């Protein structure tokens, strides 16, 4: 790889956060064990974040520039946390919504989460939704807001690619990503608005704070946002993918799109101002179809098979993927996912035989650790 390519990678850092569901190994019901699992993980040198409900945990990768290193760590993290869950009588699942009927989603007992539960009522108490968040380095918040405008047209196809919440409460929802439908109940969730400056972005967030539709700036749940903690743009449109390799794929696609957007900005190109309702319609068709139907291309208004939209995405960022050294991983992994199926297709295939959520849980448990070096019951392993 050339020195210019190494320098480009160093600038375009990436990191991935994955949210997981903890379930009872016997019943498959959500298990309120996040604090115990996090404490066990901490003793093994793995830091976990507690999510809104006690049935979820979140992992965070290191900052990476290399696809192989990121992919390795995501597999290691899943292995390590699965072992910690097993030692606390729970099973780790990479699934975006619970396949079984939960008795409750108890809110994690922290002051912030209690306040969210009190303020948002049933939206918070019916949460239990798990996503995947990709961070890519950008120079500043102003650039992040401008990049967000350029990413908006591609968010629906990213959603369709990793859809992983078809079975919910023991039923086929009719959607590949039911999480996407439920998630938009939050007043600050869904497609990011088109902002002309970071000042406009901040003014809208200030109004949301003033009216109480968010309690703090961490509750800006738009699917693209400038990170509060890091010099990154955060893309959070996707369900948590069924496999770690699919999470790496999502990260590489996002990184390629960010680089493509930054170059368009440098050339003075404006992002298309897609009407909000058109973008919402594109989200809906993507959530409905996943990989296995048609979805709306929001700029042209064409309705196309989702694999064709994926082809358009890869074609758009092929120069960036080549420069970053990511093209082979991206094209190979997309071909694998199209052939084998994403999480939603796996869920439906498992559910079809007996209409039993237990079969879905078993398939998801296998997928969660697919490609991992260890499986539950193996010796402890600490992620880097």
Q: Is 10 in contact with 45 (CB distance < 8 Å)?
A: no
State residue 156's pLDDT score: 98
What DSSP string describes 347-376?
HHHHHHHH--HHHHHHHHHHHHTTT-S--T
337: confidence class by pLDDT, cuts 50, 70, 90: very high
Pull the structure tokens for residue 232. 């990154």
With a cut of 50, say whether residue 228 has pLDDT above it.
yes
Beta-carbon contacts of 206 under 8 Å, excluding residues fewer than 6 positions away, are none
H-type alpha helices, the chain: 3-11, 34-43, 67-86, 111-120, 122-125, 141-151, 155-161, 178-183, 198-211, 244-266, 276-289, 306-324, 327-340, 343-354, 357-368
pLDDT 10s digits, 40-99: 999 999 999 999 999 999 999 999 999 999 999 999 999 999 999 999 999 999 999 999
State residue 79's pLDDT score: 97
* Domain residue ranges of the chain, discontinuous segments joined by +: 3-368
Of the chain, the percentage scoring pLDDT greater than 90 comes to: 90
With a cut of 90, say whether residue 325 has pLDDT above it.
yes
229: confidence class by pLDDT, cuts 50, 70, 90: confident
Q: Which fold has domain 3-368?
A: Creatine Kinase; Chain A, domain 2 (3.30.590)
pLDDT 10s digits, 88-138: 999 999 999 999 987 668 899 999 999 999 999 999 988 889 999 999 999
With a cut of 60, say whether residue 383 has pLDDT above it.
no
């Amino acid at each position: 790889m050339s020195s210019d390519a190494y320098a480009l990678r160093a600038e375009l850092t990436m990191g991935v956060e994955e949210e997981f569901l903890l379930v009872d190994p016997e019943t498959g019901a959500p298990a309120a064990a996040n604090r115990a699992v996090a404490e066990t993980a901490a003793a093994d040198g793995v830091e976990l974040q507690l999510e809104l409900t006690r049935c979820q945990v979140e992992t965070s990768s290191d900052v990476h520039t290399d696809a192989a290193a990121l992919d390795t760590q995501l597999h290691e993290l899943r292995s390590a946390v699965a072992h910690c869950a097993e030692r606390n009588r729970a099973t780790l699942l990479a699934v975006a919504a619970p396949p079984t009927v939960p008795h409750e989603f108890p809110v994690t007992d922290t002051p912030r989460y209690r306040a969210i539960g009190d303020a948002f009522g049933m939206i918070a108490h019916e949460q239990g939704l798990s996503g995947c968040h990709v961070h890519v380095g950008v120079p500043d918040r102003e650039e992040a807001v401008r990049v967000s405008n350029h990413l908006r047209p591609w968010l629906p196809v990213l959603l369709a690619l990793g859809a992983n919440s078809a079975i919910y409460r023991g039923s086929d929802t009719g959607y590949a990503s039911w999480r996407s439908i439920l998630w938009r109940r939050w007043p600050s969730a869904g497609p990011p608005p088109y902002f002309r400056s970071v000042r406009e972005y901040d003014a809208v967030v200030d109004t949301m704070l003033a009216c109480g539709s968010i309690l703090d700036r961490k509750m800006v749940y738009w699917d693209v946002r400038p990170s509060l903690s890091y010099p990154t743009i955060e893309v959070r449109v996707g369900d948590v993918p069924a496999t770690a390799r699919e999470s790496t794929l999502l990260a590489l696609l996002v990184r390629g799109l960010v680089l493509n957007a930054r170059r368009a900005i440098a050339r003075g190109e404006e992002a298309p101002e897609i009407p909000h309702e058109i973008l919402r319609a594109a989200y809906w068709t993507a959530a409905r179809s996943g990989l296995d139907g048609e979805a709306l291309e929001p700029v042209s208004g064409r309705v196309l098979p989702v694999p064709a939209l994926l082809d358009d995405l890869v074609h758009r960022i092929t120069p960036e993927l080549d420069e970053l050294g990511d093209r082979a991983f991206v094209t190979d992994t997309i071909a694998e996912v199209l052939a084998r199926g994403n999480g939603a297709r796996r869920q439906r295939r498992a559910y079809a035989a007996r209409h039993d959520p237990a079969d879905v849980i078993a398939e998801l448990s296998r997928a969660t650790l697919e490609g991992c070096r260890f499986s539950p019951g193996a010796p402890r392993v600490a992620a880097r």
